[in-house]
A and B are shown apart, each in its own frame.
Chain A
Amino acid sequence: MALSRRTGRSRLTIALLVITSITVLTLDFRDSAVVSGARDVAAKVFSPLRGVAETATEPFSNAWNGITRYPDLERENEELRATIDEMRGERVRDADAAEQLAGLLDQLDIEWVGDIPTATARVIAGPGSNFSRSIEIDKGSDHGLKEGMPVVNGAGLVGKLVQVTDRRSHVMLITDPDFAVGVRLVDSGVTGTAEGTGEGKPLIVDTGLEAGSEVKEGTPLTTSGSDRSAFPGFILVGTVVDTRTGSGGLTVDLVVEPLVDTSRLAFLTVLLWEPSR
């Protein structure tokens, strides 16, 4: 009798807890201010604690990662040296092209990404769990950062700021399934929306192109920068690696490899830019 009473109470407890969990999940999906407010408070509480703990344990974690990833680091070092050599030549050509592009855009009264003020930030923490895709940087509202600002590096678009405290901010990465950005194919000017599908996976771009349309592999995409876009235009996003039939069977979706390697980020640039309302 006592056992069955206890089992009944346990079932009631778990039912209540499951219902509560589903309720808060629903609140989060509806972008409730309660959830974002609670997260802001938690970020303010844990940021200093985390900073102290990271400083104290840094030698240990560096030693561990140095031992376990030494062969990878050695190979990466060789690849990086080769890439730097290639980029030295490209930089000269790009500088000339960028100058010409900036001049043309100026004449057409279109905003050029190179003119936007920026803040450089260091990545101080990666994702806190195996399933989280946001990273943390060491700049916050004290440095002029605001939620929604685009984050880039030398390769292209990295993501956007989703949570900003006084001295730290969270960046939602371009590969996050909740991430979406308006893009434009560089050669044809066709626009679409690119969405993340998870770490290590390509972006999927819904272009509205008719089924059977051909898009060349390797075609670069940039942010579209259209009216009311959440990002300024002409930031490199990725290159087309494949095409596939869209969900309705009438259009073509593009499979796009991001130019940024989101698993290895050290320094980032935040564009101090906000969309026009």
Chain B
Amino acid sequence: MTPAGPFVIAVRTSLLLVVAVTVQLSVASRIEVFGVQGDLMLLIAAMAGLAAGPDRGAVVAFATGIAFDLVLQSPFGLSALVYVIVAYVVGSLQDTVLRAAWWIPSATAAIGSLFGVILYGVFGTILGRDLVDPALLRIAAVVAVLNALAAPLVLPVVRWATDTRDSVRARAIMR
């Protein structure tokens, strides 16, 4: 299959982000588990790191964070900063994984989400929002479980958007 050009990837990624923001605002944020909302945007950032690696994954994660920050009334750029770090860490860790398994996307989504929520809380507190409290751990744990469940559905979409379906990395993630 002919690889998609940069323009096609940019269009696909933009489409993914528009749909993802809409789903996050209208569906994920209205379905609460133990008082915690789903976090599709953080999952996309983690899956971008997994599918496209630390380099391209971080760029997609940055765009994801900026798209989300645009529609929230929270510090603009905070989600982007957190997502970039999550995607970079996830992508870098994936490079060190020696064997492939079906559970890797879910485990990565769980760890990436746990890390991402706590990082957001810490950075938010540094910016004067007082987010580090016991509720932060509850949010992190619930988001990690929800994102682990959703990861097998979201990863193929992120692979399609970033055109990494047939890459060596993609084949190494799931067998």
Task: With A129-B39, A131-B74, A131-B120 as known contacts, state yes or no: A65 contacts B129, CB within 8 Å.
Answer: no
Task: With A6-B55, A130-B36 as known contacts, state yes or no: A29 contacts B75, CB within 8 Å.
Answer: yes
Is B129's CB under 8 angstroms from A28's CB?
no
Task: With A25-B76, A29-B75, A61-B30 as known contacts, state yes or no: A53 contacts B22, CB within 8 Å.
Answer: yes
Is B27's CB under 8 angstroms from A27's CB?
no
The yes or no answer to A82 lying at the interface (CB within 8 A) is no
B41 → A minimal CB distance (Å): 8
* Residue of B29, B128, B131 with most chain A CB atoms under a 10 A cut-off: B29
From A24, A46, A132, A163, B22 is in contact (CB under 8 Å) with A46
Chain B residues, Cβ within 8 Å of A39: 70-71, 76
From B22, B77, B120, A21 is in contact (CB under 8 Å) with B77
The yes or no answer to A156 lying at the interface (CB within 8 A) is no
Interface size on A, residues (CB 8 A): 53
Chain A residues, Cβ within 8 Å of B69: 24
Q: How far is the CA of A46 from the CA of B71 in the complex (A)?
A: 8
**Interface-forming stretch among B80-88, B102-110, B151-159?**
B80-88
The yes or no answer to A33 lying at the interface (CB within 8 A) is no
Which A204-253 residues have C-beta < 8 A from chain B?
Answer: none
* Residue of A10, A49, A128, A134 with most chain B CB atoms under a 10 A cut-off: A128
Task: With A14-B54, A21-B81, A25-B81 as known contacts, state yes or no: A132 contacts B72, CB within 8 Å.
Answer: yes
A51 → B minimal CB distance (Å): 8
From A21, A54, A68, A163, B32 is in contact (CB under 8 Å) with A68
The residues of B with any CB-CB pair to A shorter than 8 Å are 18, 21-27, 29-33, 36-37, 39, 41, 53-55, 58-59, 62, 65-81, 84-85, 88, 91-92, 117, 120-121, 124, 127-131, 135, 139, 143
The residues of A with any CB-CB pair to B shorter than 8 Å are 6, 9-10, 13-14, 17-18, 20-25, 27-29, 35, 38-39, 42-43, 46, 49-50, 53-54, 57, 60-61, 64-65, 68-69, 125-134, 162-163, 170, 172, 176-177, 197-198, 200-201
